[in-house]
Chain A
């Protein structure tokens, strides 16, 4: 096979409309989710993303059954999930993790049940694994609106959210409405979870809102840079992941998340300051100093 043939082979995905659409939608969603991941993983709330993604499944299923926009359904079940968790937490002695586990699996099961009892245009498999390659134009519009609005709000509020997450007392002392800021953040998180559901499916959404931030966290001590690195990782892995999935004929979500994990592993070992190898080197230097 000559070089020219190989090159044109590699460009094939760009000649299909559905592939182009899949690539840029994935990149957009990946970028916004990565932005949120910078905050989420710092507060030990990573699994909230997972819980949300599973909880909104019945809403998405119901939306397809009744022909409503999926974002609307997801929004209502998201609120239902949050209210349910709060209700169980306040009225029992269960710990938070048990409450979250209880509520989100219940809603997820309900969603799967609905989707299998009332067959619709959306299959159980699509919900669980995502299917960006077959995304409809209306869904693209919804995903694009959600992502654009989220990105805009985050760009306006990123410093206020940083202060709120770092030191809530100080945030209040400079007059920030910390409660409102947290509500805004979790609303965006739910919205982006819905968007990511389309690309990688309910099971892998958690990776989109955790891994890029976690990787960036190992690479920098500055929050601004952390966001930039995280978003870059999210955009590139999602775009490339969608591209590669054409050749592998595999689930896009699986490819995207695998790429993100590979990059995480690179950072985990080779990060200049917080990587495993750097830590070992420091340890060695320290023991050398003691022994000599």
Chain B
């Protein structure tokens, strides 16, 4: 029974090193023979918000699944805080915020129950909440501004509120690595701003946050690192170096809409600079100037 319930799970903050994710030549081949990710490597350190960017089918979810131990590497390895995945998960270091589509919103649970699930890893095997657990739940709900909704069934919330509940759960869990799967899909700008603000606070507190997103426009706004993937890692590093027009065109191929406005369309003079708009959704990414130049301030959507 103990083997199943995994009792010992006290948060050993003092003995484990800081939050880190390292993929070392990770290759994942599914049983049907499809290799979703080949030879992918990157390293992330504490106090980072990193965007995992790529087209659908580029291996974003496979990388997430590898980090969560749902799929085993065919070769290479994944380490979290310097530990193999299974050991790291037992130490409760990873919090996961699922994609809204992956949640059964009719499940008979209240908002506060979902947030309390974040504390389960800190409880004994019967999952009896202590006063400290209840306090952490209150605090997490307060922080995402959802205290007033704690007795609601989760399906009765708006898209943005739903997202905040799961964010509150990851706060209550106190995982030092936080994975967010497409956090900005189907939410309003207000919630997006609130989430980004919260992620910045968490980064300041030393958390490592990995966000998978296809919302290119907001990436430079809050991510200090970017990993661009397409079945392998195309580029990884600081946003300013990696998130360039040239790299993005490499990562997205013909998938993105690419508008270029230049020369006579913009100016009466003979200024050679042009504007490039890359977009696959409601938040376009705008480059000013030529090819590989740095991205300037984002224009409104």
Contact = CB atoms under 8 A, between A and B. Distances in A.
Interface of A: 42, 156-157, 159-160, 162-163, 166-167, 169-170, 172-177, 180-181, 184, 217, 220-223, 226
B5 A222 contact: no
B1 interface: yes
Contacts of B244: none
B186 interface: no
Nearest to B151: A221
Interface string B115-129: 001101100011100
B117 A170 contact: yes
Contact of A170 (B5, B70, B98, B110): B98
A156 B125 contact: yes
A251 to B, nearest CB: 33
B121 A223 contact: no
B98 A174 contact: no
Kindly list the 6 A-B residue pairs having the minimum CB-CB distance in the complex, ordered from nearest. A174-B121, A221-B153, A175-B90, A159-B127, A169-B96, A173-B96
Interface in B153-194: 153, 169, 173, 175
Query: Among the interface residues A160, A172, A173, which one has the most CB atoms of the partner chain B within 10 A?
Result: A173
Contacts of A156: 1, 5, 125-126
Contact of B108 (A159, A175, A217): A217
A170 B115 CA distance: 11
B205 interface: no
B89 A173 contact: yes
A175 B87 CA distance: 8
Interface of B: 1, 3-6, 9, 68-70, 89-92, 94-96, 98, 102-104, 107-110, 113-114, 117-118, 120-121, 125-127, 153, 169, 173, 175
A222 B109 contact: yes
A216 to B, nearest CB: 9
B103 A167 contact: yes
Q: Which of B69, B92, B113 gathers most chain A CB within 10 Å?
A: B113
Given A156-B5, A167-B98, A167-B103, A173 B108 contact: no
Nearest to A168: B70
A222 B117 contact: no
A173 B4 contact: no
Nearest to A166: B107
A222 B70 CA distance: 28
24 contacts: A157-B4, A159-B120, A160-B5, A163-B120, A166-B104, A166-B109, A166-B117, A170-B98, A170-B118, A172-B89, A173-B121, A173-B173, A173-B175, A174-B9, A174-B89, A174-B118, A175-B6, A176-B6, A177-B3, A220-B108, A222-B109, A222-B110, A223-B109, A226-B108
B68 A167 contact: no
A160 B120 CA distance: 8
B118 to A, nearest CB: 8
Contacts of B92: 173-175
A274 to B, nearest CB: 10
B5 A174 contact: no
B172 to A, nearest CB: 11
Contacts of A217: 108
B163 to A, nearest CB: 14
A45 to B, nearest CB: 13
A192 B96 CA distance: 34
Contact of B98 (A169, A176, A221, A223): A169
A160 B125 CA distance: 9
Nearest to B93: A173
A156 B7 CA distance: 12
A156 B128 CA distance: 11
B103 to A, nearest CB: 7
Contacts of A220: 108
B117 A167 contact: yes
Nearest to A170: B96
A144 B113 CA distance: 33
Contacts of A157: 4-5
A159 B128 CA distance: 10
A231 B254 CA distance: 56
B68 A172 contact: yes
A77 B104 CA distance: 32
A179 B37 CA distance: 24
A173 B68 contact: yes
B169 A223 contact: no
Nearest to A183: B4
Contacts of A174: 9, 89, 92, 117-118, 120-121, 173
B108 A160 contact: no
B89 A175 contact: yes
B62 to A, nearest CB: 14
Contacts of A175: 6, 9, 89-92, 121
Contacts of A176: 6
A221 B151 CA distance: 10
A174 B90 CA distance: 6
B113 A223 contact: yes
A182 to B, nearest CB: 11
A177 B4 CA distance: 6
Contacts of A221: 108-110, 153
Contact of B4 (A162, A163, A180): A180
